[in-house]
Amino acid sequence: MKSNNRRTFLKKSILGTMGAVVASSACAQTSTPRDAEGPFYPLTPQKDKDADLTKVAGKVGTAKGTIIEIHGQVLDTNSNPVEDATIDLWQANSFGKYHHPHDNSDAPVDEHFQSWAIIQSGKAGKFRFKTIMPGAYPYQARLEDQRTPHIHMKIGKHGYEPVLTQMYFPDQEQNKTDGLLQRKTKEQQAMMTAQNTGQQNVLLYNIFLEKI
């Protein structure tokens, strides 16, 4: 896919058929819960950090796994949209492998998976990105103790408390046993879990920031 097409794929997304992103009043009381950064924040520099993680600039091929789209909105805790917030996100590939020199698992690296993106919220605080469903991976090298699929995110803007969190997926059996997720209250888990939109492989995720 040409780079110009990659930059414009979001403009051709199905947002128009989704309708406006509406924040729930129940979630507007607090900021998005914090979570651990984990050991695999990207170390290797890369030029390609755009909103399409299923392709890598300069390479021919598509990331392996189920392609998904995340549609969301950054809001303050009073449900006002926050434009120009920076969203730094990274995740494992579909095999549960991070593109990181310290991930020494036997899972394969996917050279066609971008793995890391830095994007910004736009008009009305909305953002979108395209990626693959991350695989589970062993927690502290224990095969019997896997982390449930998730995406790491750092969200910030001047004048707001930054949030370091993890986005989880609905209907995952491993959510019930994931150590980090299960430390949260049910209300926090709900805020950190993306929502089904009724359209296949399209999920909704809102982020709440607290003003300083």
List the domains of the chain with CATH numbers: 3-13+30-209 (2.60.130.10)
The reported pLDDT for the residue numbered 137 is 82
The count of residues in the chain is: 212
Closest CA to 207 of 89, 41, 68: 89
> What is the pLDDT averaged over residues 202-206?
98
pLDDT tens, 1-27? 445 554 444 444 444 434 444 434 344
Instruction: Look at residue 70 and give its three-state secondary structure.
Output: strand
pLDDT tens, 110-156? 999 999 999 999 999 999 999 999 998 876 555 557 899 999 999 99
pLDDT tens, 76-94? 999 999 999 999 999 999 9
Q: How confident is the prediction for the chain on average, in pLDDT?
A: 88
Helix (H) or strand (E) holding 130: strand 126-132
